[in-house]
Amino acid sequence: MDIILVGLSHKTAPVEVREKLSFTDAMLADGMVLLKGYGEIIECVILSTCNRVEIYSTVEESEMGVARIKDFLHSYQPDRPLDWITQHLYIHKNEGVVRHLFRVASSLDSMVVGEPQILGQVKDAFDTALLNKTTGAVLNKLFKKSISVAKRIRTETKIAENAVSVSFAAVELAKKIFSSLKDKRGMLIGAGEMGELAARYLVNSGIKEIVVSTRNYERALNLAQAYNGRAVRYEYFLDEMAKTDVVICSTGAPDYILRFDQMQDIIRKRKNRPIFLIDISVPRNIDPAINKIDNIFLYDIDDLQAVVDANLKTRKDEAEKGERIIDDEVDTFSKWFKSLEVVPTIVALKDKVEDIRRKELGRAIDRLKTLSPDEMQAVEALTNTIVNKILHGPLVALKGEADSNNGLLYAEAVRRLFNLEIKAPDEEDDEGGR
């Protein structure tokens, strides 16, 4: 048995390809059931997000399984040539699949390393597969392990800490200056995309109130409504700033809209209470000289980018720690997976020899009815000893090769020599849930 992965992601396929092959929530269950119905596919899970479409499967023969999955994907875009899909695909097998899924679930393969959404998406895909009975012992073990590995990496590293977008960095800086934003007022001047995103982060951080002011008052009203805030006409925003603690400026103005003398007047009205200014405009809309005024903290987009770059460096260092954790976890899972070929063979061999021993002992006892109970016990012990001595060598060899590349060859040889029937492996549910 092999584990295979056929997929594409933001690293291999443009968005126009990914969106055509993505599975909606409504399509996902039907897709897994359909794929599981193919003769070559033993188990399957489909993971579909905005950045990736990946199909995880167990198969008896990997090349046939990969071909079948390619056909399956092509069936969703039958009017396009198969190469339109295959040129963007990556294919992994066995240990490569394990490593890839652990990296995906841990966000090490994400566009933004450390982002939290992907783990939830992996869990949802697995839940859908469980609900529709498209998994078995191997993929159940693999996906449960990927979830626990992701949690371990988030616990043992700082991969998810620190802002890695300009807008988020702005809000994180505001939180450091004020400790808490719950009793603070915020203002968005202009309607730039990054400024609006920063305003959204402020609201999500619990800021008391948000005020919006743009040259287009209708636009200001719509934005304010989206944030449960207030709109202020553009000509009055300076009056409002005296009551504002955090100001995000993101306009298309060609020059400064906040000058040194204006902010001096505002800080006096605030009785020297600190005010945090975020200028995400290009060109800048806030006079940099304002930073010289006591209790005014001004940051422009370059300041924030420096914070983001430093944080990305930190995340990269933490990601390297995560990769080392994955190395250990991949090794553990691979040993378990390789043992699937050997352990059932060991069990089957013991069962078969024990069955022969019991039957032959039963026939002999029928002919030796004059034996005393002690003599019967001695004969029983003798047959057990003979069987154990005969099996000792083969069992030691099988166990020794269980997690090696030769394990499959040893297991196959024993199966043929003893004509063994192998049962499907039972799942080891050692992940404590899911």
Token pair 């897709």 is found at 31
CB of 328 within 8 A of CB of 133?
no
CA dihedral sign, ordered 90, 93, 94, 95:
negative
Distance CA 164, CA 215 (A): 30
pLDDT on residue 413: 78
> DSSP per residue over 248-308, as a string?
EE----SS-SB-HHHHHHHHHHTTT--EEEEE--SS--B-GGGGGSTTEEEEEHHHHHHHH
Q: Which residues are catalytic?
A: 50
CB of 152 within 8 A of CB of 327?
no
Number of Cβ within a 10 Å radius of residue 364: 12
Distance CA 31, CA 84 (A): 20
Distance CA 220, CA 190 (A): 8
Residue 35's nearest CA partner among 66, 77, 3 is 66
Q: Which domains does the chain have, with CATH numbers?
A: 2-162 (3.30.460.30), 166-307 (3.40.50.720), 335-418 (no CATH)
Cα-based distances in Å from 302 to 10, 169, 193, 286, 287:
27, 11, 17, 13, 14
Distance CA 434, CA 432 (A): 7
Distance CA 285, CA 267 (A): 18
Distance CA 100, CA 11 (A): 13
DSSP for residue 369: T
Distance CA 415, CA 372 (A): 39
From the number of C-beta atoms within 10 Å of its C-beta (0-12, 13-18, 19+), residue 30 rates as exposed
For residue 118, give both structure tokens. 């992907």
Per-residue pLDDT tens listing for the chain (434 residues) = 899 999 999 889 888 888 889 898 889 999 999 999 998 999 999 999 888 999 999 998 999 999 999 999 999 999 899 999 999 999 999 999 999 999 999 988 887 778 778 899 999 999 999 999 999 989 999 999 999 999 999 889 888 776 567 777 788 888 888 888 888 999 999 876 777 777 788 888 888 899 999 988 988 888 888 888 899 999 999 999 999 999 988 887 888 999 999 999 999 999 999 999 988 887 788 999 999 999 999 988 888 777 777 777 878 888 889 999 999 999 888 888 877 777 777 888 888 888 888 888 888 887 877 788 888 888 888 988 998 888 888 878 777 766 666 666 777 777 787 787 766 555 444 444 45
pLDDT on residue 160: 76
Statement: the pTM of the whole predicted model exceeds 0.75? no
Q: Where are the beta strands (DSSP E) in 102-257?
A: 185-189, 209-213, 230-231, 246-249
Distance CA 310, CA 69 (A): 42
Number of Cβ within a 10 Å radius of residue 282: 13
For residue 349, give both structure tokens. 């061999």
User: Strand 2-9 to strand 90-93: parallel, antiparallel, or no bridges (unpaired)?
Assistant: antiparallel
